Amino acid sequence: MGADGMGAAAIPARDPGLQPERTALSWRRTIMSAVIASLLIWRGWALSLTREGSADVAGLFVPGHSAHVIGLGVCAVMASLTTIVLVVCASIRIRTLHAGVGVLETAGHIAPPALMLRTASIAIVALAAATVVALVLGF
């Protein structure tokens, strides 16, 4: 027995405090930033299409678009895909934390899975790269 009268095997229950709420808020801020970046890139692509005089849908499939328009289109698609990946990662993490704190008693269950961390990190880096390329192309 220890000095407090508890045995060595007695481990107090985990009190998460506001950790699930803080995590949810930080994921939501990340998602909002990703959505805004994606929308701005899509807007730049749409504006570059109108500058070339091919704003209608049929004009998207005719040959002759400049590398500028094609590059912005690739950036727009990449930004959308990375935003979707971030939304999926965030929803999984938020749902896990809010599922029940009693279930998350061990540190192994509290920490996010390594695959999710890698996936979210790659998505953020890809979104940043798409944003930088779109800025270089001058959206």
| Range(s) of the domain holding residue 28 | 19-137
> What would the two tokens of residue 76 be?
């727009």
Nearest to 82 by CA among 139, 35, 41: 35
Between 40 and 5, name the one with better pLDDT.
Answer: 40
Does some domain include residue 4?
A: no
Does some domain include residue 12?
A: no
Does some domain include residue 80?
A: yes
Does some domain include residue 10?
A: no
Distance, CA of 65 to CA of 73 (rounded, Å): 11
Do 90 and 28 touch, CB atoms closer than 8 A? yes
Does some domain include residue 128?
A: yes
The tens digit of pLDDT for each residue in 32-91 reads 999 999 999 999 888 888 876 544 545 555 556 678 888 899 999 999 999 999 999 999
Does some domain include residue 77?
A: yes
Does some domain include residue 40?
A: yes
The tens digit of pLDDT for each residue in 35-50 reads 999 999 999 888 888 8
Does some domain include residue 90?
A: yes
Number of separate domains in the chain: 1
What's the whole-model pTM score? 0.70
